[in-house]
A and B are shown apart, each in its own frame.
Chain A
Amino acid sequence: AQKITQTQPGMFVQEKEAVTLDCTYDTSDQSYGLFWYKQPSSGEMIFLIYQGSYDEQNATEGRYSLNFQKARKSANLVISASQLGDSAMYFCAMREENAGGTSYGKLTFGQGTILTVHP
């Protein structure tokens, strides 16, 4: 079973509109972290936002917010006021505290969503 599922291979949004990128996860750990990364065509993976499993408030960072619904095991990324520079691949990722000794430090990624912002 996939630990991180991103069901939207591609998404389109008009400039200045908001967009939600979906992410669901699967873990039996109580303690875990959820991350979103942006990867433009240049290749660099840019850290956007983090949500801890014990955090009661949804994380926000500028135009990025994370809609964390723990019971549904979802951690959707919301980008408000989209800009042309937001066009990129977006990855959702998870780190589990008790992933096992052989997975110490491991970040598990979803398959990614390609976001295209239209002018």
Chain B
Amino acid sequence: DTEVTQTPKHLVMGMTNKKSLKCEQHMGHRAMYWYKQKAKKPPELMFVYSYEKLSINESVPSRFSPECPNSSLLNLHLHALQPEDSALYLCASSRGAGGPFFEQYFGPGTRLTVT
């Protein structure tokens, strides 16, 4: 089973709201990722967690706050977002983060609209 689940599928939020995106995998993977993707563009890496510790933050604004409560779960907390943050947010996982050999499995994404 190579399933990564994400909730919600769609989210509309105002610029003053606080919301969270959730990602879950039960493949025993030890690395999890958040990506942001604009229409017709490749995904852009935001964060990498390895063994539940944040290993990469790609200079993401602090209005995005990741959290990895356990090895199966990854959250992205959103606060005071801007309209330009509207995008598809993809979660992914892989067996490990290091080395070139681990394929990443992606979830279906959350389509976020900031009004």
Within the assembled complex, what's the spacing in Å between the Cα atoms of A29 and B100?
10
Q: Which residues of B contact A42 (CB under 8 A)?
A: 108
B108 contacts A96, CB within 8 Å?
no
Q: Which residues of B contact A29 (CB under 8 A)?
A: 100
Cβ contacts A82-106/B at 8 Å (1 or 0 each): 0000000101001111000011111
Known: A47-B2, A112-B42. A106 touches B56 (CB 8 A): yes
6 A-B residue contacts at CB 8 Å? A43-B88, A45-B90, A52-B101, A91-B42, A105-B97, A107-B45
Counting CB contacts under 8 A, is B31 at the interface?
Answer: yes
B42 contacts A103, CB within 8 Å?
no
Within the assembled complex, what's the spacing in Å between the Cα atoms of A98 and B45?
18
A31 contacts B56, CB within 8 Å?
no
Our pick among A37, A53, A95, A104 for the contact of B55 (Cβ within 8 Å) is A104
Q: Which residues of A contact B106 (CB under 8 A)?
A: 37, 44-47
Counting CB contacts under 8 A, is A68 at the interface?
Answer: no
Q: Which residues of B contact A31 (CB under 8 A)?
A: 99-100
Cβ contacts B20-46/A at 8 Å (1 or 0 each): 000000000001010000001111010
Interface residues on A, range: 20 to 34
B40 contacts A89, CB within 8 Å?
yes
Within the assembled complex, what's the spacing in Å between the Cα atoms of A42 and B98?
30
B56 contacts A52, CB within 8 Å?
no
Cβ contacts B45-75/A at 8 Å (1 or 0 each): 1001010000110000000000000000000
B105 contacts A43, CB within 8 Å?
no
Q: Which residues of A contact B40 (CB under 8 A)?
A: 89, 112, 114
A38 to chain B, nearest CB (A): 11
B100 contacts A104, CB within 8 Å?
no
B100 contacts A96, CB within 8 Å?
yes
Closest 10 CB pairs of A and B: A105-B97, A109-B42, A33-B100, A45-B106, A95-B100, A44-B108, A105-B48, A43-B109, A32-B100, A97-B100
Known: A104-B56, A105-B50. A97 touches B41 (CB 8 A): no
Cβ contacts A44-82/B at 8 Å (1 or 0 each): 111100101100000000000000000000000000000
